[in-house]
Structure 1
């Protein structure tokens, strides 16, 4: 082995470039962040061949003084921090002073800049480090050409032009979303791709994510002491097959952090189908002293001082935002105005229509799932459906026939016909005028025993009655069980082997485990004993559940494993108790279901993430039938 010796500066910079510059998008990120830190109000990006041939970034920021240009290309030279206190309160995008030196070590780099008040601009070459006068308005131009020209082995790892450009485009979008107050332009091979004027956040989000995203998103605005969360999250129905539309910013810095991702995922836990992913653009503002941005060479990961508080704040803020059902506001103001402007033969005749029927139907629906509530109180499973389907009847729906024999089916059909006739008679009676149509309107009919057709101010509403009733029951069951959980003592404690990390997690999180209903204690150097569990999970494999729970507690400051397991059981119960297909409902029963949907959180999706209802406006129906054309 050779003797220890210092490395030459050029090799040091090239090694450092391996951490900072792994592709053209990395170069673009560092240069764009420097432009933002310089106070630029307008930034132009020009790319050639996906950024491999050239990346040129022009900004109108404060510029760099002539005597500082050479220092800008040196390692660990920066104007952004000067002490440890500055490092602990970093508010700028860049701060290490490594980026330009690393870039200049693996590409032909030219830096031109004119500082505020300077007579003219100066240019420095990254290789020769020679200064020369230049013609430039106030600001800076960073020109990076022929990436990895002097390290051909690294160049071989670059992908096709289209792939590298796609990464650059994504990096541009991140900066553009983080700073809507800055005007940005991106061109590739001479063609302008994005031209984004400064403006409000919503306009920038619509420009980069599409108007469709904004129309299917809810705005987030939550404060809790030093924490503030703003932005937009998609409705569950707008979920995507991949995570390509997820942007999270901490103090303006785009991050990919498992703590934040976990909090978002848990907020969507029972409203997005398992194979789908939500879209969002979220901005977390936090005291810079409460977050460490110096834990990753590319500054894309962060570490929070109060991780548990941050996780819970984001989780609850998003859960509150998503909890409001779209059914509660299915008819927005513009739709109502449009309905009022329709011709007389189009205008929905809703005022004064079947208020009394709705009231009587609601009375029939109110006694919800007594068998489930008794189960929650006693923590013992109750029969979901006996021969008389008592659980379904208790949930507010008429009991279905058991299907045993032709006579049972015939009598049930007769009873359904009588109920339908009674509902028709109710809706035909003169009724007092209502204050206004409810968001989901009033039921018109039932389609093939599966869907409810209703009319509201905007047009036609279609409801999947089983999916909707399933969500209603599920939310009621969760409400009943949201207090302190019932506990099941184990006759024989469950003793099993665990790692030292699990022992430490159990001791550190003992209060959390107790609040969940677990009585856990160490039974040896590498053994845990569980003496009680939540009653709802009494039949679950204790060792497997506890190992999963402790792993979650180690990775995240809080856990939703137990809640998820409990909710899986409640979802199954709600599914069994919900009204089934081919059940004939009366108009009052259908209207009562619509009213319950309007009053239920997350009523837009069933427990499996499928939509429960959809709206067809009068305008859409007119276009389909080509009326007025």
Structure 2
């Protein structure tokens, strides 16, 4: 027997809407904290019990809710952030749909207390189990707003069954607080769980404060290995930090991307970032970054998903290419592209941290000239700069090598002009030691030479006409008609890259010529990968990636092998080549090619100056 069509009650409508907005306590925290930020607060306090299942209270010092609007704030689709279609087409606030508070109230016991900055007292309102609002009553509260959510999903047991353990729910909630706190360093945040303080982040007023927040939320290694970037173009600005590829991670757990201050998970953005890192990471490794994209609000649609995790760009290809180019340029420059004060990382620290999961190399077995120790044990590092010129003058090749001693004497200006300094020794047949005015450089000789050779091969490949290899037996590939249309529309572009593909009927392609370097490749697999990229992203780097894989193998075989003894001239020549090469911070397999150990770090090792 069919039921009659009827209008749902407001309470049931809100509970249905809660299915889109409220997934778990972390979802509640996100909505409430974003409301606090939209209210121009300077501090947010989050108190949690049992992972947020028992209780979750968010308190801010924002401008508060006027007394005559307090009840209205708990009504569905009631908001002060959007008034007409023009506001919706250029959203500048984190929240705007007017669904969060009534949806949360429909699946919990909610208490709302607020006081406007120009009001002498606060008002409190609570929501009954049937969704009815109790009459507002006076309450004690400083200027700002508190939203107290208790017993989440108490009246929807089917939803409550899907909640995980207290530890798991707290982990999700902590992640939400962390990613919001990373985007708003000027706001103070405090997170407490079962009375224990997990985060107490003061507002960051300067670079030192921002560094302290990064170290607290992402760790010292992120701060030390982060490369800064800030570029603008065509109404777009991309800024933030990206960790050197050599210090990638085994998980994609430190990837934060914000669009106009909103944390997003966008396929277009992810593809642009992956493409920028495609030639730099070892298989299975993941980049780490904290990036902010700013663009006019009219160029991005935030109203794609109720949780607002996804966005849609009006000029997607332009945004994709901008992100890709900016990241590619910055990663190509590497640490050597930083200002001298920031060479050890984005914040000018000394020694670089090791890559996750990589063993720490021990220094030992020094070969080459014996190093003198002109400073007393109790001395600080002030004397290092004065000794540098003498140290470099001491580094001469043995008599009879034919090298003019004067050529080995380098002025202080020359030293400062070369960020990798000058060689002093080769140890264990593998590593090169170089001295700079502010520390010690350790180079993996084979890895560095491999990257230099790889970049030269790529430059040669791209600077000349692509050599094509006709196939003795053309390769047929069966595809869908729309995929054949896609390839047919790109035949000229593909031919310029050395790949000649003909279409012989509605669903069959024939590969007739390929780049000479790829004559032994899986041609059918290459075409299918190309189609996948073109269908989803409108572009593909598969050909370049395939060619680069061959060039990388060639560079590896041509690099300096371990245990070959180099002269000082050869070592210094390698350092100069490294300073000129792009992407020199890591080898073709994603491992670091060099690290810096600052004199501050060396002093700590030996307790010098204490």
TM-score per shorter chain, which class?
0.7 to 0.9
Q: Secondary structure at the match of 2:269?
A: helix
Deviations 1:49-100 (A, max 9, x none): 2111111111222322333333322222222223232222111111221111
C-alpha separation in 2, matches of 1:477 and 1:120: 73
Give 1:190's aligned residue.
195
Change (3 A) 1:484 1:587: closer
Which residue does the alignment assign to 1:580?
Answer: 561
Spell out, residue by residue over 1:398-442, the C-alpha distance to the aligned partner (whole angstroms, 9 max, x if none): xxxxxxxxxxxxxxxxxxxxxx86785637567554333233232
Residue 539 (structure 1) aligned with residue 520 (structure 2): yes
User: Would the alpha carbon gap of residues 325 and 19 (structure 1) be closer, same or farther in structure 2, given more than 3 Å must change?
Assistant: closer
| 1:543-572 C-alpha deviation (Å, 9 max, x unpaired) | 211110110112223322111111111111
Q: In 2, distance between residues paired with 1:152 and 1:348?
A: 74
* 1:461 aligned partner: 441
Contact kept? 2:336, 2:343, Cα under 8 Å: no
CA–CA separation in structure 2 for the residues paired with 1:345 and 1:147: 62
- Give unmatched runs, 5+ long, in structure 2: 351-374
Partner secondary structure for residue 482 of structure 1: helix
Matches within 5 A, 1:505-516: 505-510=486-491, 512-516=493-497
Shift of 1:168: 1.1
Question: How far has the Cα of 1:108 moved from its partner?
Answer: 0.4
For the residue of structure 1 that corresponds to 2:118, the secondary structure is coil
In the other structure, the counterpart of 1:246 is 255
Mapping for residues 315-326 of structure 1, pairs under 5 Å: 315-326=324-335
| Distance of aligned partners of 1:355 and 1:307 in 2 relative to their CA distance in 1, 3 Å threshold | farther
Q: Are 2:422 and 1:442 equivalent residues in the alignment?
A: yes
**Range with greater deviation from structure 2 (194-203 or 139-148):** 194-203
- Aligned mates of 1:123, 1:155 — CA distance in 2: 27
Larger displacement relative to structure 2 (521-530 or 594-603): 521-530
Q: 1:23 to 1:200 in 2, by over 3 A?
A: farther
- Following superposition, the deviation at residue 169 of structure 1 comes to 1.2
Distance 1:331 1:616, change over 3 A: farther
Deviations 1:573-592 (A, max 9, x none): 11111111222222211111
- After superposition, where does 1:419-430 map in structure 2 within 5 Å? 426=403
Aligned to 1:342: 381
Shift of 1:19: 1.6
1:5 aligns with 2:10: no
- For 2:319 and 2:3, the matched residues in 1 are separated by 49
Q: Alpha carbon RMSD of aligned pairs, Å?
A: 3.1
Greater shift, 262-271 or 337-346, is seen at 337-346
Which secondary structure state, in structure 2, belongs to the residue aligned with residue 321 of structure 1?
A: helix
Deviation at 1:524, TM superposition (A): 1.7
Match of 2:368 in 1: none
Give the structure 1 partner of residue 85 of structure 2: 84
Contact 2:240 2:292 in 1 (8 A): yes
Check conservation: 2:74, 2:101, Cα contact below 8 A.
Answer: yes
1:23/1:458 CA distance change after superposition, 3 Å? same
| Whole-angstrom distance in 2 between the partners of 1:337 and 1:515 | 45
Residue aligning to 1:568: 549
1:306-327: CA deviations, max 9, x gaps?
A: 2111111111111111212435
In structure 1, the gaps of 5 or more residues are 358-419
Give me the whole-angstrom Cα distance separating, in 1, the residues matched to 2:264 and 2:144: 28
On the 8 A contact 2:232/2:238 being kept in 1, the answer is: yes
Mapped to 2, the partners of 1:218 and 1:8 lie a distance apart of 54
CA contact (8 A) 2:335 2:585 kept: yes
2:335–2:343 CA contact under 8 A, matched in 1:
no
Could you tell me which of 157, 164, 178 is aligned with 2:162? 157
Partners of 1:484 and 1:515 within 8 A in 2: no
Shift of residue 206 of structure 1?
3.9
String of CA shifts for 1:479-526, please: whole Å, max 9, x gaps: 222347515263565432112342343245456434434344432221
2:484 equivalent to 1:503 = yes
Aligned to 1:606: 587
Between 479-488 and 468-477, report the one with greater CA deviation: 479-488
Q: Give a deviation string over 1:367-415, Cα, whole Å, max 9, x none.
A: xxxxxxxxxxxxxxxxxxxxxxxxxxxxxxxxxxxxxxxxxxxxxxxxx
Give the CA deviation at 1:615.
2.9
Structure 1 residues 228 and 332, CA, compared in 2 at 3 Å: closer, same or farther?
closer
Q: Please say which of residues 95-104 and 515-524 is displaced more in the overlay.
A: 515-524
What SS does the corresponding residue of 2:528 show, helix, strand or coil?
helix
- Structure 1, 216-225 or 511-520: larger mean CA deviation: 511-520
Aligned to 2:537: 556
Q: For the Cα contact (< 8 Å) 1:46–1:186, is it kept in 2?
A: yes
SS in 2 for 1:244: coil
- 1:482 paired residue number: 462
Contact 1:442–1:455 (8 Å) recurs in 2: yes
Q: Residues 217 and 10 (structure 1 numbering): CA distance in 2 closer, same or farther, change over 3 Å?
A: same
- Mapped to 2, the partners of 1:332 and 1:473 lie a distance apart of 29
| TM-score, normalised relative to structure 1 | 0.82
> Offset at 1:232?
0.8
